[in-house]
Amino acid sequence: MAQQFSRRHFLGACSVAVVGLIIPAESAFAERRRVRAPGPHPTPRPGVTGDKVLTKEQLAGKPKLIPLFDSVREIPEVVDGIRCNCGCTNPPEFYSLLSCYEGKGMARDCMICQGQGRLAARLHKEGKTLDEIRAAIDAKFG
């Protein structure tokens, strides 16, 4: 016995199907738009310091991040030569990954910034050059 659909049921089913096709496409577009296109790594600025990296007092609400921020503060000349690949934001005042650990402290909440900072600090401790660190970061986050 064949079941018949009213015009209302048919149009409702069509609209559900169209919405089901549009929403995933919009989500994928938003995801692609958010990711920053790879570009060249910045040149570390002469005389750059870690003085602006957030302190343990400024990270009171996120105590687990204090060692990470401290390690970034120790190697500003390295972290300043790395492009941030997170795509969370691209304010004009951000120059490098070091910028993510200063001022607004985007790295407090961004796992990509944190991952890049951890990798840079670890590789620097292993004696890797800036170019080797950049290549490793590009391979993992780029």
Give which of 133, 94, 137 is closest to 112, Cα–Cα: 137
Query: Is residue 47 situated within a structural domain?
Result: no
Regarding whether 78 and 26 lie in a shared domain, the answer is no
pLDDT at residue number 47: 95
Query: Is residue 74 situated within a structural domain?
Result: yes
Query: Is residue 42 situated within a structural domain?
Result: no
pLDDT at residue number 104: 81
Query: Is residue 50 situated within a structural domain?
Result: no
Query: Is residue 44 situated within a structural domain?
Result: no
Regarding whether 131 and 85 lie in a shared domain, the answer is yes
Query: Is residue 53 situated within a structural domain?
Result: no
Quote the CA–CA distance of 99 and 136 in Å, as a whole number. 20
pLDDT at residue number 3: 64
pLDDT at residue number 103: 86
Quote the CA–CA distance of 140 and 3 in Å, as a whole number. 54
Domain total of the chain = 2
Regarding whether 75 and 27 lie in a shared domain, the answer is no
Q: Show the domain range for 96.
A: 63-141
Q: List the pLDDT tens digit at each of the 142 positions of the chain.
A: 556 767 666 656 655 554 454 444 433 433 333 444 467 899 999 999 999 999 999 999 999 999 999 999 999 999 999 998 887 656 667 889 998 999 888 899 999 999 999 999 999 999 999 999 999 999 998 8
Regarding whether 71 and 120 lie in a shared domain, the answer is yes
Regarding whether 137 and 67 lie in a shared domain, the answer is yes
pLDDT at residue number 107: 92
Give which of 38, 130, 135, 140 is closest to 81, Cα–Cα: 130
Write down the pTM of the prediction. 0.71
